[in-house]
Amino acid sequence: MFRIHLERSVYQKFVFVLALALGVFVGLGASVYATSIGGDVSVTGTLTTTGATTLNGGVTLGDAAADTITVNGTLTAATVTGATVLNGAITLGDAVTDAITWNAGTSTIGTTNNAFQLATSSAPHAFFGLDAATYRVGIGTGTPGAAFAVGGDGTVIIGNNSSATTTLTIDASSSPIVTSPRGKGGCINMRGASDGVMYRVYIVTGGTLVQAASSSLRIEEGSCR
C-alpha cells in the first residue's frame, strides 16, 4: 500500500510541474507576440518589423540633415505639411488620368538657365520652357532667345477661327521720334524667303509726330534693333 501511494504522489508532482511549465511557456509566448509598451523605446542598430505596422500620433523620422529615409513600397494618400525638399528624379502620377494640382498662389523656380521645362522623354525639344536667368519664355524650345520665343516650325495662330475680333498689338512705351535716330515704335523683323536677308517692317509718318494722313508702311533691309 505504501508503494502505490508513493507512485501516485510522484505522478501528481509530475503533472503539476508539467502544467506549470506549460503556463510559463504560454505566458512568454504571449509577451513576445503581443506586447504593449507604455514608455519610450530606444533601439541601437537596426529595428526590423514584419507585418503591418501602425504608428499613431506624432511620428518623427530622422534627427539630422544627413539622415536618409528610404521607402521601397507605395505611399497611399500621404499628406506632407511644412517645407519639403525632394532631390533626384521625381515622378508625379502613374496614369494619364492622374491630376496634379497646385494650390499655391506663387511657385518659385531656380535662377539658373532653363530652370523649368515641360517635355516628353522622346521629344527633341521642350514644349514649354522658362529661362529664369534672363526672364524669357519659350514655346517649342527650352532655350528662348528673346523675352518670348517660339521654336519648332515657328507657326503661331492667333484667334484660331474665333468669332470675335482678333487683335495683335505692337506697342512701345516711349514717344516716337520722326527724325533720325528714330524712336522705339512697333517693328516687325521678317527674313526674305528667297535671299535670306532680314527685313524690318514698320510705320512712318510725315513731318509731325501724329499725321495719320501721310502715314505709310515701310519695308527695308535691316533689323528692328
Domain positions in the chain are: 109-153, 170-225
Distance CA 74, CA 93 (A): 12
Looking at residue 198, its pLDDT comes to: 92
State the average pLDDT over residues 78-104.
82
pLDDT at 69 over 60: yes
The pTM of the whole model exceeds 0.85: no
DSSP 34: S
Beta carbons within 10 angstroms of residue 225's beta carbon: 7
CB 162 within 8 A of CB 179: no
Q: Please check the confidence at residue 71 and state whether its pLDDT lies above 50.
A: yes
CB-based contact 149:136 (threshold 8 Å): yes
Closest to 152 measured CA to CA, from 136, 134, 137, 138: 138
The rounded mean pLDDT for the chain is 74
Least Cα distance to 211 among 176, 172, 168, 170 occurs for 176
Query: Model confidence over 92-120: pLDDT tens digits?
Result: 888 889 888 888 888 777 777 677 778 78
DSSP state of 145: S
Q: What angle do CA 15, 17, 22 make, to 5 degrees?
A: 95
Given a cut of 70, is residue 161 above it in pLDDT? yes
Q: What integer pLDDT is reported at residue 199 of this predicted model? A: 92
